[in-house]
Amino acid sequence: MQVDSGITLVHAIWSAGRSEEILTGCDGGVCGACTVSIQLKEKPGKTIIDLACCRLVEEGMTVFPYPVPPVPPVQPSSEPSADTLRKAYPTLDRCTKCDACTTVCPMGIPVMESIKRMQAGALEEVAEDYTTCIHCGQCRAICEDRVQPHTMGMWVRRSLAIKSSAETTVPVDEDASRAEQEWAYLLSGDRKTQLQHCQQFRQTGKVGI
Ligand code: SF4
Ligand code: SF4
Ligand code: FES
């Protein structure tokens, strides 16, 4: 496929009229729907997992759909704890601590250690662990015990967010102004700059302004 340089894989696939070949959601590096396997011409035999909406096309790149099917999320809880997590995901205690999930994580997340933190109820630390998760699903795919680490990690993050929003009252004006600032930051600059902003925002949760 011949495409313009400087565009993302998602946009390349769309512009080639082959949008049905890739799942997309946010087109902004957040939802993980567009995870793909990539092989580069200069690194034959090495497979990279990345988000197609954040990865720029390169000459000679080979791209495959990522074969881990999504799983439906479990409703988060406004009272997150080890017990409510266990109730939502009885798989939590199936973990045999083999560490295979940590080995495959492309983002260097300490997945198995995070499972131990979940079991101990250290949920604030778990939420930190999954800040950079790209939802590629590899930790779930490799787990023979079907523990589903990252879906539990996301459950923890969402549950803590619900708890915290119930406890904090942010004035509506302040909330709207923060959202406006974030959008202005994400949409500023050329396409390459926007991608950098998007990646930085995904990794830190903060705008660089
Ligand atoms: S979650 Fe699965 S892959 Fe990870 S350490 Fe536990 S059993 Fe092993
Ligand atoms: S889904 Fe699992 S393997 Fe993929 S980035 Fe998140 S923690 Fe790492
Ligand atoms: S479409 Fe959501 S992360 Fe790429």
**What are the distances in angstroms from CA 33 to CA 26, 136, 137?**
8, 8, 10
Q: What pLDDT does residue 170 have?
A: 58
Distance CA 29, CA 198 (A): 7
Residue 136, pLDDT score: 80
- Give residue ranges with CB within 6 A of ligand 1: 95-101, 111-112, 115, 142-143, 145, 147, 149
Question: Hey, what are 41's tokens?
Answer: 């011409």
Counting ligand 1 atoms within 8 A of each CB, the residue from 103, 112, 113, 146 with the most, and so the one to mutate, is 112
Closest CA to 115 of 134, 138, 141, 89: 89
Q: What pLDDT was estimated at residue 209?
A: 56
Left, alpha or beta for 121 (phi > 0: left; psi -120 to 50: alpha)? left
Q: What is the pLDDT at residue 65?
A: 82
Total Cβ atoms within 10 A of residue 6: 12
- The reported pLDDT for the residue numbered 132 is 86
The per-residue pLDDT for 169 is: 62
Nearest-10 crossing angle of helices 111-120, 149-167: 50
Task: Kindly give the confidence (pLDDT) of every residue in the chain, 209 residues in length, as a single tens digit, with 9 standing for 90 and above.
Answer: 788 788 999 999 998 888 888 888 788 777 777 888 899 988 888 888 888 998 999 998 999 887 677 778 789 999 999 999 999 999 999 999 999 999 988 889 999 999 999 999 999 999 999 998 888 888 988 898 889 999 999 999 999 999 987 776 656 667 778 888 888 888 888 888 888 888 888 778 888 75
Q: What SS3 class is residue 5?
A: coil
| Ligand 1 centre distance from Cα of residue 157 (Å) | 20
Q: Which atom of ligand 3 is closest in space to residue 32's alpha carbon? A: 3
> Given the CA of residue 111, which atom of ligand 1 is nearest to it?
4
Are 8 and 53 contacting, i.e. CB atoms less than 8 angstroms apart? yes
For residues 71-83, one letter each, b for 16 or more C-beta atoms within 10 angstroms of the residue's C-beta and e for the rest, the string is eeebebbeebeee
